[in-house]
A and B are shown apart, each in its own frame.
Chain A
Amino acid sequence: DQQVKQNSPSLSVQEGRISILNCDYTNSMFDYFLWYKKYPAEGPTFLISISSIKDKNEDGRFTVFLNKSAKHLSLHIVPSQPGDSAVYFCAAGYNFGNEKLTFGTGTRLTIIP
């Protein structure tokens, strides 16, 4: 059973516009959420995270929103740049005592110049 889901396998966005990537989870015990970015032929790299005690976290052009009641998080990229074209994975884990991360299936983001 897929506990973390990314329902959009791909997304195309015009350069300069907002990219919104979505992620849903089913396990209410998750209390820490992360986004990873992956370029071809490279390993995933950490992008941004959010703890369940917050509903928003910003880092430059990247903002993650968490809606605990809906078990939904989203990543906003504003403005989108060609270098943002990559596969994005959301992951869910625990704040204390358990390092295990459960990953979603990924969304391939393509930024159109």
Chain B
Amino acid sequence: EAQVTQNPRYLITVTGKKLTVTCSQNMNHEYMSWYRQDPGLGLRQIYYSMNVEVTDKGDVPEGYKVSRKEKRNFPLILESPSPNQTSLYFCASSSILGTGADEAFFGQGTRLTVV
């Protein structure tokens, strides 16, 4: 079954304690990205990756890091989380073959609370 898997689904942490949210896809997609969803703001892109070792900033990258060492994995790293990073996070992947802007497949989300 084609899927994007995020872990953990829920996380409560304290300010400044480094954390990593993992994302893995089994569709051999080149393009992966991270979004955060906040009330009234919709989905905003944090970082994206066009392929292995190729990453770039999205619309709201401050306070986040990513890496793409393998095609299937795209972890999101918060080196020093702050309360304004409390949000619902989604990982997504899509293929860049064909017409581009193909529909993205999303993970189930990670609800992060930073206290």
Contacts and interface: CB of A to CB of B under 8 A. Distances in A.
Contact of A103 (B31, B43, B105): B43
Contact of B104 (A6, A46, A97): A46
Contacts of A43: 4, 90, 92, 106-109
30 contacts: A32-B99, A32-B100, A34-B101, A42-B108, A43-B4, A43-B90, A43-B92, A43-B107, A43-B108, A43-B109, A45-B106, A46-B105, A51-B99, A95-B100, A95-B101, A97-B100, A98-B100, A98-B101, A99-B94, A100-B45, A100-B48, A101-B101, A102-B45, A102-B59, A103-B35, A103-B43, A103-B44, A104-B42, A106-B42, A106-B43
Interface of A: 4, 6, 9, 32, 34, 36, 41-46, 49, 51, 89, 91, 93-106
- Give me the 7 closest cross-chain CB pairs, A-B, nearest first: A43-B106, A93-B101, A46-B103, A105-B42, A103-B43, A32-B101, A99-B31
